[in-house]
């Protein structure tokens, strides 16, 4: 019997080893080819593809089409699954891979019919780049076909990859629209509904558009709100009663996304497909339970620049860090692209930076003459229009393929204004017009930034570029710098102002990208943007407010730029890594005032644990975590009281708005403490603050009895994983994630770092001096966990250690030859 059992055990172990060997061989079969020679049909001349120790790519080609073909080949071998997610998220086609759990995400995007619109507008999108994009498409499909085994995620999903098409590169650009803008224009609709039922003074307070933290490029700071008197607004007498009984507005063609979606389906979607669920500040700030999803953070970025007048040798320096959901691999792919081009200066292009797999271009970077960088502009890029119930509509049947299930037919109703997303209780319709719907939203002529010779040439490229509306910062090798709005903007008429529901006099608008506001050669020799309000006056009225962020990051960057008169690249990196907690320090002082002399045992425990103020969002700081959470709970309480009347009146039509500027309302309330604006049922502001402190203690104690151990690093621990990791058992998940590490920084300071959200790249570079440039990239270069480039560069991002901007010594060379 013992011998029999040993034989059975040996057979089982042998089969297990055999299974592991098969899995290992299958995984290795989808690794990118790094060395050797191979034929690539369509090339006009040989192309060399070099990689350094971090997997950074250098492509040397005879022309732009050959470069694009080779880049597509490499993108497919390293990142095809992630490219597939980008196009599918924009088109609403995720269910075809992941099954019915992804249907709510697909319905949310399918209402926009972006694949159909891309097909109709393809000629405009490709512009003069059709031949280049065709070469890229063919390179992608050749790279995919050359893999002995299909990319490993498809093995787990038991799916086959679908070939790349021309439209898919445009959809990749549209996926960034969905990530950087709200496809449902929820904030504008939420505020419009609140305005309908709120006293004017209350709405003015809720919609106040600035704070003491403002740092615009144009005009003065708005400052904090002026509080209304008791004769105008009194919460003690304001009735909070439900509205009249009537059917709620129905969401005809959208689906809410919440906890009912399986974790696997949510994780499998790329950052661009995540819905930014409106969370109240308290849960977002307290950090109860697991780390927050990327959806709970504010998508944005920092960029800033200094002109040659502020550097020792007259060079301009550009800094950029784009804040997005973080995953392994990173959304960006580092590349240096070199090719001959008779229309470029000296007949050559040499551009280095961050490419986006799915597109044959460097998105941000430097071409030795001009460097450029982006932040999300948050101008108003979408409008609802209220249409009569009798409006003539077009009807479309969108078929959503579902893995393992019958396809779903999804009905879309469209007006001349755009798709109908809501029906009001009176039968009228709300149709949405969004820049992403229209010809010109994506125009791949932006790739010509690679050969811009100077600032003026780069500005001319910006005039014909179709991208999500961004703050573009540029510098050239002569030391000049400039800011400009770039990308598709609504070309509204004079009778159609930005903001709110469009009036009956508004006509359907087109988009434009030319004649944008700009600031060229600023007299202070410094520029900065951080998703906050940049404009003022008439230009702001035209651009509108799409939800500008609080100015704390921008102010901290601006003040850092004014703190010295001479800069090097490392000085701008130091500003990017600035984690000083300037916004939270007043909140810590307020927390201390609240708990210092209390006899309440809970408050005494908070007092003992919060005595030391480090002044930074450092991983070992307890006080920072407490101040941040105390702020969130207090904001939640006060916002909830001010929004309660509208919520009661609107019922199911109520949507929680994001009130980014509420810091400019809460501090006048806390400093002046007016009785008529005190949230019920509190009898005093002291009572309200003590209640916030008690809730803070309850939340932290639930995570461990020793409050001194509740550090910021415990709360802000990285959770950067491959999108497919949540679909796997915990045993295998660890192989698809970066090492969990406590992270310094937070969202209201320059060093934006959350568990799965933050700086998706950092770049500091001077055109013509790229050898002195610095980059960071979390999550690594390759999408394959067996690749030597899985996680490459990630530790430098965590530690803030400079990585060279240019490629290092060549470690691998692949030569592609014409067939």
pLDDT digits (tens, 9 = 90+) for 307-351: 999 999 999 999 999 999 999 999 999 999 999 999 999 999 999
For helices 622-650 and 663-672, what crossing angle results, to 10°?
Answer: 100
pLDDT at position 259, please? Answer: 26
Average pLDDT over residues 277-298: 37
pLDDT at position 289, please? Answer: 31
Closest Cα partner for 511 from 490, 485, 542, 484?
490
pLDDT at position 298, please? Answer: 60
pLDDT at position 241, please? Answer: 63
Number of H helices, E strands in the chain: 25, 26
Closest Cα partner for 281 from 723, 665, 760?
665
pLDDT at position 15, please? Answer: 74
Closest Cα partner for 316 from 308, 304, 324?
308
Question: Which of 6-15, 47-56, 149-158, 390-399 is least confident?
Answer: 6-15
Q: Which tokens in the block code for residue 90?
A: 């924009």
Size (the chain), residues:
819
Average pLDDT over residues 656-673: 97
Average pLDDT over residues 451-459: 97
CB 723 within 8 Å of CB 661:
no
Q: What angle do CA 514, 516, 521 make, to 5 degrees?
A: 120
Q: What is the pLDDT of residues 153-166, one digit of tens each?
A: 999 999 999 999 99
Q: What is the pLDDT of residues 591-603, one digit of tens each?
A: 999 999 999 999 9
Average pLDDT over residues 376-404: 96
Q: Which band of pLDDT confidence, cut at 50, 70 and 90, is reported for residue 191?
A: very high
pLDDT at position 260, please? Answer: 26
Average pLDDT over residues 619-648: 96
Q: What is the pLDDT of residues 714-773, one digit of tens each?
A: 999 999 999 888 777 777 788 899 999 999 999 999 999 999 999 999 999 999 999 999
Q: Which band of pLDDT confidence, cut at 50, 70 and 90, is reported for residue 706?
A: very high
pLDDT at position 489, please? Answer: 97
Distance CA 478, CA 483 (A): 16
- pTM value is 0.92
Q: What is the pLDDT of residues 124-177, one digit of tens each?
A: 999 999 999 999 999 999 999 999 999 999 999 999 999 999 999 999 999 999
CB 154 within 8 Å of CB 160:
yes
**CA distances for 450 relative to 2, 68, 360, 455, 479, angstroms:** 72, 13, 11, 12, 18
Q: Which tokens in the block code for residue 645?
A: 């009347």
CB 417 within 8 Å of CB 386:
no
Q: In this predicted model, which residue has the larger pLDDT, 192 or 279?
A: 192
Backbone angles phi and psi of 32, in degrees to 5: -65, 145
* pLDDT above 50 for 222: yes
CB 727 within 8 Å of CB 748:
no
What is the SS3 assignment for 640? helix
Average pLDDT over residues 406-427: 96
Average pLDDT over residues 382-404: 96
* pLDDT above 70 for 792: yes
Q: Which tokens in the block code for residue 498?
A: 């930005």
Question: Which of 41-45, 120-124, 273-277 is least confident?
Answer: 273-277
Q: Which band of pLDDT confidence, cut at 50, 70 and 90, is reported for residue 238?
A: confident
- Helix, strand, coil percent values for the chain (each to nearest 5): 40, 20, 40
Q: In this predicted model, which residue has the larger pLDDT, 658 or 23?
A: 658
Distance CA 115, CA 92 (A): 9
Distance CA 442, CA 400 (A): 24
DSSP labels, 107-144: HHHHTT-HHHHHHHTHHHHHGGGHHHHHHHHHHHHHHH
Average pLDDT over residues 571-585: 98
* pLDDT above 70 for 248: no
Question: Which of 291-295, 463-467, 688-692 is least confident?
Answer: 291-295
Question: Which of 1-10, 46-55, 614-623 is least confident?
Answer: 1-10
Query: Which H or E element spans position 180?
Result: helix 166-180
Closest Cα partner for 208 from 221, 197, 193?
221
Q: CB atoms < 10 A from the CB of 397, how many?
A: 8
**CA distances for 299 relative to 295, 325, 327, 529, 561, angstroms:** 8, 8, 15, 14, 23
pLDDT at position 732, please? Answer: 75
Closest Cα partner for 558 from 123, 125, 221?
221
Q: Which band of pLDDT confidence, cut at 50, 70 and 90, is reported for residue 297?
A: low
pLDDT at position 263, please? Answer: 37
Closest Cα partner for 378 from 661, 779, 777, 696?
661
Instruction: Mention every residue, 6+ apart, whose C-beta is less than 8 A from residue 485.
Output: 377, 379, 469, 470, 471, 472, 516, 517, 518, 543
Q: What is the pLDDT of residues 644-658, one digit of tens each?
A: 999 999 999 999 999
Average pLDDT over residues 656-671: 96
């Amino acid at each position: 019997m013992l011998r029999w059992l040993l034989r059975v055990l040996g057979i089982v172990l042998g089969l297990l080893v055999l299974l592991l060997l098969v899995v290992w061989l299958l995984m290795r079969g989808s690794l990118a080819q790094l060395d050797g020679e191979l034929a690539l049909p369509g090339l006009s001349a040989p192309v060399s593809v070099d990689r350094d120790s971090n997997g950074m790519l250098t492509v040397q080609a005879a022309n732009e089409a050959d470069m694009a073909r080779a880049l597509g080949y490499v993108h497919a071998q390293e990142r095809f699954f992630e490219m597939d997610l980008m196009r599918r998220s924009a088109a609403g086609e995720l269910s075809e891979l992941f099954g019915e759990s992804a249907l709510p995400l697909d319905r949310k995007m399918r209402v926009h019919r972006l694949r159909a619109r891309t097909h109709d507008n393809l000629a405009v999108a490709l512009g003069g780049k059709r031949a280049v994009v065709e070469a890229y498409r063919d390179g992608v499909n050749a790279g995919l076909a050359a893999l002995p085994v299909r990319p490993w995620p498809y093995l787990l999903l038991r799916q086959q990859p679908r070939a790349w098409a021309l439209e898919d590169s445009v959809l990749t650009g549209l996926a960034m629209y969905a990530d950087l803008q709200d496809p449902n224009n929820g904030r504008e609709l939420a505020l419009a509904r609140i305005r309908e039922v709120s006293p004017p003074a209350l709405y003015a307070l809720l919609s106040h558009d600035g704070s003491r933290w403002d740092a615009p490029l144009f005009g003065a700071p708005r400052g904090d709100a002026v509080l209304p008197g008791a004769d105008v607004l009194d919460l003690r007498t304001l009735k909070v009663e439900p509205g009249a009984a009537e059917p709620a507005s129905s969401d005809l063609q959208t689906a809410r996304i919440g906890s009912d979606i399986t974790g696997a389906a949510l994780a499998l979607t790329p950052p661009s497909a995540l819905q930014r669920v409106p969370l109240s500040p308290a849960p977002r700030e307290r950090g109860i339970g697991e780390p927050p999803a990327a959806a709970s953070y504010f998508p944005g970025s920092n960029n800033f620049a200094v002109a040659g007048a502020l550097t020792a040798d007259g060079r301009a320096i550009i800094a950029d860090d784009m804040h997005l959901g973080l995953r392994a691999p990173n959304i960006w792919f580092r590349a240096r692209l070199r090719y001959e081009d008779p229309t470029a200066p000296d007949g050559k292009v040499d551009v280095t930076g961050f490419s986006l797999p799915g597109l044959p271009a460097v998105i941000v970077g430097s071409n030795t003459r001009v460097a450029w960088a982006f932040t999300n502009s948050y101008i108003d890029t979408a409008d609802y229009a209220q249409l009569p119930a009798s409006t003539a509509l077009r009807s479309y049947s969108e078929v959503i393929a579902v893995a393992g299930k019958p396809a779903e037919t999804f009905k879309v109703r469209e007006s001349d204004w755009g798709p109908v997303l809501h029906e009001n209780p009176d039968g009228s319709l709300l149709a949405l017009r969004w820049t992403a719907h229209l010809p010109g939203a994506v125009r791949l002529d932006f790739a010509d930034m690679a050969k811009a010779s100077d600032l003026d040439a780069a500005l001319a490229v910006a005039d014909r570029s179709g991208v999500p509306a961004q703050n573009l910062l540029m510098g050239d090798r002569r030391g000049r710098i400039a800011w400009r709005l770039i990308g598709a903007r609504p070309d509204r008429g004079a009778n159609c102002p930005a903001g709110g529901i469009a009036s009956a006099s508004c006509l359907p608008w087109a988009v434009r990208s030319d004649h944008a506001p700009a600031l060229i050669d600023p007299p202070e020799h410094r520029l900065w943007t951080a998703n906050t309000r940049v404009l003022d006056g008439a230009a702001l009225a035209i651009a509108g407010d799409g939800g500008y962020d609080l100015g704390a990051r921008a102010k901290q960057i601006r003040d850092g730029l004014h703190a010295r008169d001479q800069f090097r690249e490392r000085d701008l990196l130091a500003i990017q890594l600035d984690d000083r907690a300037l916004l939270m320090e007043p909140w810590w002082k307020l927390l201390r005032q609240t708990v210092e002399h209390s006899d309440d045992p809970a408050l005494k425990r908070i007092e003992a644990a919060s005595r030391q103020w480090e002044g930074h969002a450092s991983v070992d700081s307890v006080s920072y975590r407490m101040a941040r959470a105390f702020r969130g709970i207090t904001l939640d309480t006060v916002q909830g009281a001010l929004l309660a009347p509208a919520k009661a009146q609107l019922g199911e039509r109520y949507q929680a708005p994001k009130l980014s500027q509420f810091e400019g309302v809460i501090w006048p309330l806390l400093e002046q403490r007016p009785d008529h604006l005190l949230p019920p049922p509190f009898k005093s502001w002291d009572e309200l603050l003590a209640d916030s402190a008690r809730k803070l203690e309850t939340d932290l104690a639930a995570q461990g009895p020793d409050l001194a151990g509740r550090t910021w690093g415990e709360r802000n621990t990285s959770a950067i994983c491959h999108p497919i990791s949540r679909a796997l058992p915990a045993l295998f998940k660890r192989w698809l994630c970066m090492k969990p590490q406590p992270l310094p920084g937070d969202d209201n300071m320059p060093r934006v770092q959350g568990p799965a959200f933050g700086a998706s790249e950092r770049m500091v570079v001077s055109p013509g001096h790229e050898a002195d440039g610095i980059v960071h990239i979390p999550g690594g270069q390759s999408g394959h966990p067996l690749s030597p480039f899985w996680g490459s560069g990630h530790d430098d991002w965590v530690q803030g250690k400079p990585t060279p901007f240019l490629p290092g010594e060549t470690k691998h060379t692949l030569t592609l030859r014409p067939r």
